[in-house]
A and B are shown apart, each in its own frame.
Chain A
Amino acid sequence: METVANPPAATGRQDLPGDFAIWIFIFAELLVFGIFFLAYAFARAGNVELFNEYQQYLDRETGAINTLLLITSSFFVVRAVNAIKRNAVASCVRWLGFAVLSGAVFAGLKLTEFAARHADGITLSTNTFYMFYLSLTFFHFMHVLMGMVILTAVAVKAHRGDYSAANHTGVETGASYWHMVDLVWIVLFPLVYVMH
Chain B
Amino acid sequence: MKYQSQAVAKPYFIAAIGLFIGQILFGLIMGMQYVAGDFLFPEIPFNVARMVHTNLLIVWLLFGFMGAAYFLVPEESERELHSPLLAKILFWVFLVAGALTVLGYLLVPYARLAELTMNDLLPTMGREFLEQPTITKIGIVIVALGFVYNIGVTILAGRKTVVSLVLLTGLVGLAVLFLFSFYNPVNVVNDKFYWWWVVHLWVEGVWELILASILAFVLIKVTGVDREVIEKWMYVIIAMALISGLIGTGHHYFWIGAPEYWQWWGSIFSALEPIPFFMMTVFAFNMVNRRRREHPNKAAVLWALGTAVMAFLGAGVWGFLHTLAPVNYYTHGSQLTAAHGHMAFYGAYVMIVLTIISYSMPILRGQKAGSPRAQKVEIWSFWLMTLSMVFITLFLTGAGIQQILLQRYTDNPLPFMVVQDKIEMFYWMREGAGVVFLVGLILYVSAFFVKGGEREEITDSSGMASATSS
Contacts and interface: CB of A to CB of B under 8 A. Distances in A.
The answer to whether A and B touch in the complex, with CB atoms under 8 Å apart, is yes
Given A21-B233, A35-B271, A124-B259, A28 B264 contact: no
Interface string B239-277: 110010000000000000001110011011101100100
A131 B267 CA distance: 14
A39 B239 contact: no
Contacts of B259: 124-125
B261 A32 contact: no
B241 to A, nearest CB: 11
A108 to B, nearest CB: 25
Contacts of B239: 25
Contact of A21 (B236, B264, B268, B269): B236
Give the interface size class of chain A: 10 to 19
A125 B272 CA distance: 24
Contacts of B275: 28, 31
Contact of B236 (A25, A36, A125): A25
Contacts of A124: 259, 261
A135 interface: yes
B279 A24 contact: yes
Contacts, number: 39
Contact of A39 (B233, B235, B268): B268
Interface in A161-177: none
A90 B312 CA distance: 47
Contact of A135 (B235, B243, B265, B272): B265
B274 to A, nearest CB: 11
Contacts of B267: 39
Given A35-B268, A36-B268, A39-B264, A28 B240 contact: yes
Contacts of A28: 240, 272, 275
B233 to A, nearest CB: 7
Interface string A25-39: 100100110011001
Interface string B283-311: 00000000000000000000000000000
A21 B235 contact: yes
Interface of A: 19, 21, 24-25, 28, 31-32, 35-36, 39, 43, 124-125, 131-132, 135
15 contacts: A19-B232, A21-B232, A24-B236, A25-B240, A28-B240, A31-B272, A32-B269, A32-B272, A35-B271, A35-B272, A39-B264, A125-B259, A131-B264, A135-B264, A135-B265
The 7 closest A-B pairs by CB, nearest first: A124-B261, A131-B261, A21-B232, A125-B259, A21-B236, A24-B236, A35-B268
